[in-house]
Amino acid sequence: MDRASRLVDAVQRLSLARDLEGVAAVVREAARGLTGADGATLILREGELCHYVDEDAIGPLWKGRRFPIERCVGGWVMKNGAPVVIEDIFDDARVAVEVFKPTFVKSLAIVPIRTTSPVGAIGNYWSAPHRATDDEVRIIQALADSTSVALENLRLYEELERRVVELDRAVQARDAFIAVASHALKTPLTPLALQVESALALLHGRGDGSALAAKLASKLESASRQIDRLGLLVGNLLDLTHIAFDCKGARDAVSLRAIVADVVERSRPLSERLGAPVTVVDGADVVGHWNRLRIELAVENVLSNALKFGEGKPVTIAIDHHHEVAELFVRDRGIGIAREHQLRIFEQFERAVPTSHHGGLGLGLWVTRKIVEEHGGAIRVDSDNGKGSTFTLELPLAQRAHEAP
């Protein structure tokens, strides 16, 4: 391989190097091969020291050692930003002879890595008297120029990695704050909702038809709706933190009917307040290898969606299985979803109705899709405007190897 081809190959390899070890490996090999020298070193400046990072030579040189920049020929090159060629190391005042005596070196040529504010140098050494030619110096300098770019790339990569780590920590801190804040907000909401409902029940139970009682009832009903809205928002934030923290958790044999029963029971206060009974169709139970908390969250989101958009009409839940896949059907008889919106409602922050009509952030169905997909399943909807919606969750019964947590 001729010099030009060697240099092109070295430049290409330097462009792919992602750490100092990789850069050094290219430089030590290429520098020696380009000139036929008996040794080559990569020297980097560390403050007022010259660090001999790596070498490729017929005998040991100074790999890993550091010398004061004032006592090193490489230091002279870096301070002056110019190459140096020395045919006889014992006949040049810039050479610390005692450092070279234990080595094979008789002649050398060293070029700076960057001529302005050099960050290092590349040294070539010969065991017999040799005066490096102008062509040899130029080609080593070309290698040094490419090495400068590679070292700058390393600095940028390190800075980028540092920024990414900092950003990741910031995101984790944000998500942790959201999670804690959401739990803190959710804790008082349930008793607050019960207090408002109890006050409404007492007010209605007294049968007081006065204008004051009617006005108070109206205020309490408005407060109840706002509590429901806030509950949806807090629930959405909790859903989001579940996804952000990737809380997949362990998977065990889980009864889908038991999950549905628990979710329906927890949703009873909301369904009763909306006047929308929830019926679970009798059928055989289905047991799958799932993360119970995640599947509960998915079922709860779909049922909440059905109650939210069901216009107070009955909601039906059915369970089935087909070819080792569990199927959960949640049907409401509410406003329905136009066909052009049926795909995007499963995306983050997407909604099929104006925010002013219904609360929430548009996260519930997206979270549900993420949970179902992480279990190897799928979710779909069958709906028409004004005719209600049927959501179908498909969940493989067995855990697949590539889905192991």
Each residue's pLDDT tens digit, 182-227:
656 666 776 777 778 778 777 777 766 677 778 888 888 888 777 7
Looking up residue 136, the CATH number of its domain turns out to be 3.30.450.40
For residue range 85-100, list pLDDT tens digits in order: 999 999 999 999 999 9
Of 143, 160, 177, the last residue of a domain is 160
Q: Look at residues 118, 38, 36 and name the one whose alpha carbon lies nearest to residue 74.
A: 118
Same domain, 105 and 254: no
Residue 11 lies in a domain: yes
**In whole angstroms, what is the distance from residue 350 CA to residue 153 CA?**
40
Last residue of a domain, one of 125, 160, 195: 160
19 and 128 within one domain: yes
258 and 405, same structural domain?
yes
Is 244 part of a structural domain of the chain? no
Q: Are both 255 and 404 inside the same structural domain?
A: yes
User: Chain centroid to CA 87: how far?
Assistant: 56
Give the residue from 201, 239, 236 showing the smallest Cα distance to 220: 201
Residue 405 is predicted with a pLDDT of 43
> Does residue 262 form part of some domain?
yes
Same domain, 145 and 264: no
123 located within any domain: yes
Same-domain status, 156 and 268 = no
Strand partners, 55: 41
User: Which residues pair with residue 52 across a beta bridge?
Assistant: 43
Q: Do 115 and 258 sit in the same domain of this protein? A: no
**Per-residue tokens: 206:** 């007294």
CA 124 to CA 32: how far, in whole Å? 7
Last residue of one domain, picked from the residues 133, 160, 187: 160
Q: Are residues 130 and 259 in the same domain?
A: no
Domain assignment present for 332: yes
CATH classification at residue 282: 3.30.565.10
- On whether both 265 and 136 belong to a single domain, the answer is no
| Whether residue 134 is found in the same domain as residue 17 | yes
Region of 362 please: left (phi>0), alpha (psi -120 to 50) or beta. left
Among 128-142, 272-286, 332-346, 382-396, the minimum mean pLDDT is found in: 332-346
The burial class, CB within 10 Å (0-12 / 13-18 / 19+), for 79 is middle
CA torsion, ordered 202, 203, 204, 205, to nearest 10 deg: 40
Residue 401 has what pLDDT? Answer: 41
How many Å apart are CA 105 and CA 108, to the nearest integer? 7
Confidence grade of residue 175 (pLDDT, cut at 50, 70, 90): low
pTM over 0.85: no
Res. 341: pLDDT tops 70: yes
Q: Is the alpha carbon torsion for 121, 124, 130, 131 positive or negative? A: negative
3-state secondary structure of 102: coil
**Res 239: pLDDT:** 64
Q: How many domains does the chain have?
A: 2
Chain segment 278-331, per-residue pLDDT in tens: 999 987 789 999 988 889 889 988 998 899 889 899 999 999 998 899 999 999
Domain containing 272 equals: 249-405
In-domain check, residue 228 = no
Domain match, 133 and 15 both: yes
- List, in sequence order, every beta strand (DSSP E) within 77-180: 84-86, 107-113, 120-126
Q: Are residues 268 and 122 located together in one domain of the fold?
A: no
Q: How far is CA 251 from CA 122, 174, 358, in A?
A: 57, 28, 34
In a domain, 238, yes or no: no
Report if residue 177 sits inside a domain: no
